[in-house]
Amino acid sequence: MDNIARGNGWIERGGAQFDEDYYKLRPSIAMSKDQLQPLSDGFGLHPALKNVYQWYQQKQAGFVHACATGYRERSHFDGQKVLENGTTDPFGPIGWMNRFLATQHSQQAIAIDSGMPLIVQGDVKVSSWFPHKLKAEEEQSLLLAELFQNDETLSANFEESMKLESMTSGGSQNKQFNNLMRQAGKFISSPQGPNIAVLELGGWDTHSGQGTTNGRLASQLTKLDKGLDGLKQALGEKWQSTVVIAASEFGRTAAENGTKGTDHGTGNAMFIMGGALKVQMSLPTGLDSLKVNDMKGVTCSPRPICAQCSKRCLANIWGLMNKPYSKCSLMHLNQRT
């Protein structure tokens, strides 16, 4: 599951409704209909999302428009916390994914992060991994194992670390998003590996120079698209039983600002992808209500969507899945600046 923070704009990303409002609100950064990959109901997908569009055509990708948490302020930090803890309180210390894990006995999660994201913080232990430049030789590993053997906690943590390193054997240690996604795929596709992974991707705060087919947004979407494809390639056959959720703490304003960008908004587009899906899904909304107040355009919350995907990824959610899976994999991508 991927969190894509901070404040990604839903109009280009999830598609643009081709009406007069769109071009009036974005005179410099609106994209023409022929520049976008067509979705349903007059919406289009940014051309940088080539792989995602192929999945959409194969009924392996869907988009939920005008989606937002209950947070209505403009702080990236508080908005991100609300998205990750699944409440309306940014100070809630337990992540919604950890609460979900507490109800399960057969699910394991890993955070591809140098720290432990709030979404997986809580009472249930969650593994974490991040690339490093240290290459422990066999003798060094044996020495460390001997040093830690009398400390139960250190010994257990070291053993888990070595297990994770063995799963990435031969893999690159660079910190580029594409590599992180590939490593996540390797973890999930390993026989004894986790079946839930959490990642973050930053750089979405396009207050200036947002661009159209080129520019900051296009660059970010290209990075996202290549990372998602890397994940699919690393998963192999496991892709067919995987659901990927991409969400952000809030969207961008429908209207462009004075620096040819967009400011902090409310509603956003939520992506649901994976071989476990079987339907195209693009739930549209108009822009007329966003001319004065961008908060009026919100039509749904990510909470029930994440809850159902987590709960029913392992069964048959809303008829979206190809079939029930005994061990479905869930990726959560968090968009972060």
All structural domains of the chain: 2-131+174-335 (3.40.720), 133-171 (no CATH)
Q: Provide φ and ψ at 166, rounded to 5°.
A: -65, -30
Question: CB under 8 Å to 219, separation ≥6 — which residues?
Answer: none
CA 297-59-51 angle, 5° bins: 85
Per-residue pLDDT, averaged over 49-61, amounts to 94
Collapsed DSSP state (helix, strand, coil) of residue 283? strand
- Give the number of other CB atoms < 10 A from CB of residue 49: 24
Per-residue DSSP letter, 292: T
Rounded CA gap, 163 and 193, in Å?
A: 9
What percent of the chain is modeled with pLDDT above 70?
A: 67
Check pLDDT > 50 for residue 323.
Answer: no
State residue 39's pLDDT score. 85
Confidence of residue 324 (pLDDT cuts 50, 70, 90): very low
Judge whether 13 and 201 are in contact, CB under 8 Å.
no
| Beta-sheet pairing, 2-3 with 329-335 | unpaired
Q: Indicate the burial class of 318 (C-beta count within 10 angstroms; 0-12, 13-18, 19 or more).
A: exposed
Residue 69, sorted as left (phi over 0), alpha (psi -120 to 50) or beta, turns out to be beta
Check pLDDT > 80 for residue 245.
Answer: yes
Judge whether 180 and 199 are in contact, CB under 8 Å.
yes
State residue 158's pLDDT score. 62
State residue 232's pLDDT score. 97
Residues 78-129: tens digit of each pLDDT? 989 999 999 999 999 999 999 989 988 778 899 999 899 999 999 999 999 8
> In whole angstroms, how large is the CA radius of gyration of the chain?
20
Residues 65-80: tens digit of each pLDDT? 888 888 888 788 998 9
Residue 30 Cα distances to 37, 46, 236, 266, angstroms: 14, 11, 37, 19
Between 161 and 293, residue with greater pLDDT: 161
Name the β-bridge partners of 197.
110, 331
Judge whether 66 and 300 are in contact, CB under 8 Å.
yes
Average pLDDT, the chain: 78
Residues 128-157: tens digit of each pLDDT? 988 875 555 554 555 555 556 666 776 676
Confidence of residue 167 (pLDDT cuts 50, 70, 90): low
Per-residue pLDDT, averaged over 48-68, amounts to 91
For residue 110, give both structure tokens.
């890993």
Per-residue pLDDT, averaged over 233-243, amounts to 93
State residue 118's pLDDT score. 96
User: Residue 66: which H helix or E strand, with range?
Assistant: strand 61-67
Per-residue pLDDT, averaged over 288-293, amounts to 48
Residue type, 9: G
Whether residue 6 has a cis bond before it, omega within 30° of 0: yes
Check pLDDT > 50 for residue 295.
Answer: no
Residues 191-208: tens digit of each pLDDT? 888 889 999 998 888 999
State residue 84's pLDDT score. 92
Per-residue pLDDT, averaged over 13-37, amounts to 78
What percent of the chain is modeled with pLDDT above 90?
A: 36
| Beta-sheet pairing, 109-112 with 44-45 | unpaired
CA atoms within 13 A on the CB side of 225: 19
Check pLDDT > 80 for residue 171.
Answer: no
Rounded CA gap, 163 and 264, in Å?
A: 41
Name which of 286, 276, 266 is nearest 245 in CA terms. Answer: 276
How many residues comprise the chain?
337
State residue 3's pLDDT score. 56
Rounded CA gap, 216 and 204, in Å?
A: 8
